[in-house]
Structure 1
């Protein structure tokens, strides 16, 4: 619930604390933000933002795919790493989407509140209902996050944008970032067959370099497993990721027809741990 994370929120205009006033959050300077009937609050500073966010169609695709359990090993690995870190206080998920991974982590961390941060209101409508201890907040990952300094003991970042300076500011000293990113082998059977976006061989090195001034890497593990995907599942996994913005639907259907149904597909990610 949004009430669980209200003590950790900050006004996006002046960074002061926000307090509830009915279905509105207010700061001492008079800025106010109404809570949507779906349970999330938008803390975007004005109408301008740097991202487009996932569409309703992309969110629906992601919800269907994750609910089917195809990525369950990733959620379990993330929850295991979170339990080992055993953070105090807030768990913040930057680019939380539907709240699927945050919900798994909160199940492993009894009593901890969770902040689902995303720019897509369509995703946060689902995130607000994904777990009783999730509060959902619309914000821009590339702008100052609407969380107070040193407010989070743990941050998650799963297939999402990474803002190193803000992650460091929000994490308390000794706090942990758990970051999930695809390896070059992720969905490799579909990349060439369907013309999807591929993963750079140097992706992990580039992530470490960008986060290096702000956080210290302390460990990582690869999670790789086979999946059997139907044609409908393949359409869904394409529709829920960045390739959805770059794939021609007619061309996709033509190429899908050439694939076996079901098709064997590799899921391959890195779960990396960083410390403030």
Structure 2
């Protein structure tokens, strides 16, 4: 609202201009002051599908790679597009002195994120707007399959801070065909174009892992993405749940970027 720092008093965040925001019973705070377009925030069924899929362990290799890339920071870790807090929790487990801030536009997702780890706070926010985070306060920013606001990444990171980005490779979930969005062959080029003005890439790790997916896992990995907005049309959800199990490939890069001055 005004950009002033906020302090917590009981279950309220309040600034010196007397703007106040209540901390929800589930532990997150909603700072949004404008409506977002329909189809932007994950819905309850999408969040349930994501949480179930991640709990199945199918993306454990990716979570391990993200945690390894983040290292063991001792300060603030901001997860941009944190969803239910799965990746941020894994990083916090490996960094016992750090604290985490989950940002996401979905209040439904952040109800889960707020309970995902004892050192994690959760704030509902539109990542394309200037973030409600002070300048230069984060040791690490995480971005796992989420929108990339390079200017805000740079602004909130401390000098020398680390940005960890996970992005799908063209072969990601390829066995699911038209059930999921196709990954652009030029995605890595676009990543460099988006971040190169503010960051220098230090390393890239490819995570490629093929494993059997049950019909439920196939449903959940489709339902947690953009297709989840449309699964209740024309019996799509029922047909997906009835589909056979199959081998599915996880293919992603985890890159480490250092903040330029």
- Given candidates 56, 67, 72, the residue that maps to 1:68 is 56
What is the correspondence of 1:217-228 to structure 2 with a 5 Å cutoff? 217-228=201-212
Alignment correspondent of 2:93: 107
Give 1:227 deviation, angstroms: 1.7
Normalised by the size of structure 1, how large is the TM-score?
Answer: 0.88
Q: What root-mean-square deviation, in Å, do the aligned CA atoms of Structure 1 and Structure 2 show?
A: 1.7
Write the deviation string for residues 160-183 of structure 1: whole angstroms up to 9, x where unpaired: 111010110000110001001110
Q: Distance in 2 between matches of 1:36 and 1:28?
A: 21
Unmatched segments (≥5 aa) in structure 1: 1-12
Q: Distance in 2 between matches of 1:239 and 1:255?
A: 9
Q: Distance in 1 between matches of 2:120 and 2:218?
A: 29
Alignment correspondent of 2:34: 47
Q: Distance in 1 between matches of 2:173 and 2:4?
A: 43
Matched, 1:236 2:211: no
Write the deviation string for residues 156-208 of structure 1: whole angstroms up to 9, x where unpaired: 0011111010110000110001001110100000024x4x2100000111011
- Given candidates 246, 249, 252, the residue that maps to 1:266 is 249
Residues 99, 126 of structure 1: 8 Å contact kept: yes
Write the deviation string for residues 193-233 of structure 1: whole angstroms up to 9, x where unpaired: x4x21000001110110111121111111001012111111
- Give the stretch that moved more between structures: 50-59 or 87-96: 50-59
Unmatched segments (≥5 aa) in structure 2: none
Residues 114, 134 of structure 1: 8 Å contact kept: yes
Runs ≥4 residues deviating over 6 A: none
Give 1:262 deviation, angstroms: 2.0
Write the deviation string for residues 10-45 of structure 1: whole angstroms up to 9, x where unpaired: xxx22221111221111111111110011000112x
Give 1:101 deviation, angstroms: 0.4
Normalised by the size of structure 2, how large is the TM-score?
Answer: 0.93
How many corresponding residue pairs?
257
